[in-house]
Copies of this chain bind each other. A is one copy, B any other.
Amino acid sequence: MDYEKLMQPALEAAKKCLEEGVDVPIGCAIYRGEELLATTYNTRQAERQVIGHAEVKAITEACKIIGDWRLNECTLFVTLEPCAMCSGTIAESRIGTIVYGASRPDADVHTARCADILPKNVKIIPDICARESVELLQTFFAKRRSANN
C-alpha cells in the first residue's frame, strides 16, 4: 500500500476544512482495499455536534455504503492521531488498519492515546504526511490567534 498516495484525499479534505475556517482542519478517508469509500473533514464547531469529528463521520458513511456496522476489510486514513472517541469508534467498527499523519500533542495529558484504546490486533501506521498535516493545523491556529489580537 502506498500510504502517502492514499493519504491525499484526507489531506485535501483537511484543506477544504481550513478554507472554511471554522473547525480545526482534520481530514479522513476510508478505503475498502484501495477503493475509496468516504472522505470527510471535521465539522464539530460548524455543526455544533460532538460526533462531527472526521473519523466518526467517515465511519458512519462507510457503514451506510457497506450496509454493515463491521468494517473489517477497511483502512482508515486521518491527518491527526484519533482522539479517544474516534479511537473507540474505530475499535468498535473492527477496522483493521489505521494510518495517521501528525501525533496529537495533547494525548497523554488529557486522554488516553489511540494505541491504548485500540485492540492490539489493529495495525497503527503513524507519521504519514505528518509535515503537511501539521502545517494545516498551524495555519489554522495562527489565523485564529491573529483574529483574536
Docked complex: A66-87 residues within 8 A CB-CB of B: 67-71, 83-87
**A93 at the A/B interface (Cβ < 8 Å)?**
yes
CB A46 to nearest CB in B, in angstroms, measures 10
**A137 at the A/B interface (Cβ < 8 Å)?**
no
Contact B67–A48 (Cβ < 8 Å)? yes
How many copies of this chain sit in the oligomeric assembly? 2
**A37 at the A/B interface (Cβ < 8 Å)?**
no
Q: Which residue of B lies closest to A69 (CB)?
A: B50
Pick the 7 closest A-B CB pairs, nearest first: A85-B88, A84-B88, A88-B88, A50-B69, A85-B92, A50-B93, A85-B89
**A145 at the A/B interface (Cβ < 8 Å)?**
no
